[in-house]
Amino acid sequence: MGPHPAVAAIRLAVRRVLNDILAEHGRTPGRLTPDERSSSPLVLVACSGGADSMALASALAFEAPRAGLRAGGVTVDHGLQAGSDLRAAEVASRLRELGLDPVESVAVTVGRETRVAHSAAYRGGGSRAGGPEAAARDARYAALDAAAERHRAAAVLLGHTRDDQAETVLLGLARGSGIRSLSGMAAVSGADGRYRRPFLQLDRQTARKACMVQSLPVWDDPHNTDPAYTRSRLRHEGLPALEKALGKGVVEALARTAQLSRDDADALDAWAGKAAAGVRDADGRLECAALHDLPPAVRRRVLRRAAIEAGAPAGSLFARHIEEVDRLITGWRGQGAINLPGRVVARRQGGRLVIRQG
């Protein structure tokens, strides 16, 4: 008898991603001999101990040796709840029981300077827009990046599911975001495509079921049900209300919107990349008349790229900033310079737009 359908589904999702990683390393799937083991690429799973990432860890532990890859795990202790250090240690020991090796528990301090074990220091991103959730996320990714580098990992797997994707799209819609935000999380992201999300097409219920039938203990993060958090309200009130009003299938539809938006955003970014070269003069200033002739979606992307190239941090550069700069082109009334994040300033000089450090 084969595995339970939920277990088969999570394993298939992970196998696909492992096959991609193997292909990128010029390898074919197959079990390792003991000699080959130390030189085979390492895939880490980022595990909170929640159902999604425990399911992911179990599928990785099962599939990696069959594919000819090593598998390890990292759990991050954000230090935000009492006893979080004990829980992280417990998650680490569960990962070891699954057969993962190496396994690390990394402590970070969110909000101020963020430290991890191994004496390295990272910025927690406390001043970043988005509040404590964003600060915790920044600290977590810094720690995961560092762990991946320490272990020279080929990839880090994350347990985001189709439900997480739908929530991300809805949050973006409610904020009035453009299609790049509506495209949600990418299946592959980060430095050199380090982060992989095998479960983006899989629903949360399947991951939870897979844990249940494999008797994997899971930790339910109280933040996930705390109505103080926007995402929690969306998950427990917003999406169910939408499904009640519009019928089942809202989550799948939103995930499809993410995919379609990603394709559109990629195409527009490529267009803007080409257009950017055509609107610059020899001194790197932008020609306002040429910018004016571009479709607004392309023009805004050209302006955003120029601001980022001048040093504006992408994470702090919002649509409202770009709209203000855009008015120097489309609504020119002699306005003064526009200040952007990262001490970047946009100002009009005759028929040219200059975007550079203030």
The residues binding ligand ATP (CB under 6 A) are 46-48, 50-53, 74-76, 140, 158-160, 164, 221, 224
Q: How far is the CB of 140 from ligand ATP (least distance, A)?
A: 6
- Distance, C-alpha 288 to centroid of its chain: 35
Question: For 273-293, b where at least 16 C-beta lie within 10 A, e where not — what string?
Answer: eebbeebeeeeebbbbebbee
The C-alpha atoms of residue 70 and residue 144 are separated, in whole angstroms, by 17
- Of the pair 153, 306, the CB lying nearest ligand ATP is at 153
Q: How far is the CB of 209 from ligand ATP (least distance, A)?
A: 13
What residues contact residue 14 under an 8 Å CB cut-off, 6+ apart? 56, 59, 60, 62, 63, 157, 198
- Peptide bond between residue 217 and the one before it cis (omega within 30 degrees of 0): no
**In this structure, are residues 76 and 61 in contact, taking their beta carbons and an 8 Å threshold?**
no
- Of the pair 75, 114, the CB lying nearest ligand ATP is at 75
Q: How far is the CB of 68 from ligand ATP (least distance, A)?
A: 23
Q: How far is the CB of 108 from ligand ATP (least distance, A)?
A: 9
**In this structure, are residues 170 and 238 in contact, taking their beta carbons and an 8 Å threshold?**
yes
- Of the pair 138, 326, the CB lying nearest ligand ATP is at 138
- Of the pair 189, 357, the CB lying nearest ligand ATP is at 189
- Of the pair 229, 271, the CB lying nearest ligand ATP is at 229
The C-alpha atoms of residue 21 and residue 5 are separated, in whole angstroms, by 24
Q: How far is the CB of 224 from ligand ATP (least distance, A)?
A: 5
DSSP state of 304: H
Give the residue at shortest CB distance from ligand ATP.
50
CA angle at residue 99 from 98 to 104, to 5 degrees?
90
- Of the pair 295, 315, the CB lying nearest ligand ATP is at 315
- Of the pair 77, 326, the CB lying nearest ligand ATP is at 77
Q: How far is the CB of 302 from ligand ATP (least distance, A)?
A: 33
**Strand ranges, E, within 227-285:** none
**In this structure, are residues 61 and 99 in contact, taking their beta carbons and an 8 Å threshold?**
yes
**Strand ranges, E, within 179-254:** 188-189, 195-196
- Of the pair 70, 140, the CB lying nearest ligand ATP is at 140
Tokens found for residue 164: 């997480």
Q: How far is the CB of 176 from ligand ATP (least distance, A)?
A: 23
Q: What residues are paired with 76 via a beta bridge?
A: 106
- Of the pair 196, 300, the CB lying nearest ligand ATP is at 196
Nearest to 329 by CA among 306, 356, 301, 303: 303
Q: Is 145 helix (H, G, I), strand (E, B) or coil?
A: helix
HSE value, Cβ hemisphere, 13 Å, CA-based, for 342? 19
Q: How far is the CB of 191 from ligand ATP (least distance, A)?
A: 17
Q: In angstroms, how far is the first alpha carbon of the chain from the final one? A: 68
Q: How far is the CB of 59 from ligand ATP (least distance, A)?
A: 12
